[in-house]
Structure 1
Amino acid sequence: MITITAIIRARSGQETALRDALLDVAAHVKAHEPETLGFHVSQGLEDPSVFTTYERFRDEAAKDTHNASEAVARFFAQGEALIDGDVVLHTCREVSTEG
């Protein structure tokens, strides 16, 4: 299993727009990416301008399909207007699914 954790900071005043853009990606994943096994979006409790996504992919091919999707392209096309700074990505191999 391949995972990606993304940490994204919204520009001041763009928190709702960034949340909506991330939820658009999540809806696309649910409708079109059966090999993406999870796409979770979270918003910071202490700092609501900070968002994280946690994405789980069956394999590298599923990750590549997701990253090449129209939804991801659309999200990053909006990025300059919505995102403050760089998106921090951590791509990993899952080693445990136990809580």
Structure 2
Amino acid sequence: WRPVEIGPESLTEIVSVLKECKTALWIGPIKLWPSNHQYCRLLHFTRILSQFNASGCNSIAIGKEAYDFLKETSYSCSVHPIFQNGAAVWELLKGNTLAGVAALDR
């Protein structure tokens, strides 16, 4: 994977990368500066994720800021699942076993 930043010219690149993906992880944090442009780009990004989710790409939002932002928009239903706490997801991505999951195997 490769991280991408949302900027004025990044959305076109993000769309081209997502066209080849089966799963998209949106891992926060989201930094909203006092700029309406940044908020509009994030709304556009959530719309893009929603469209890709509808066409078969699994969109997963991770982190409290992404969770809070999506809950404020009408696109929260389109991005599944949404994990408010990203720490557990990071541990899984690193290949570690979560204690709660390991306990289920006992």
Give the TM-score of the pair, scaled to structure 1: 0.31
Q: Which has the higher helix share?
A: 2
Query: Whose Rg is larger?
Result: 2
Query: Which structure: greater strand fraction?
Result: 1
TM-score normalised by the chain length of structure 2 = 0.29
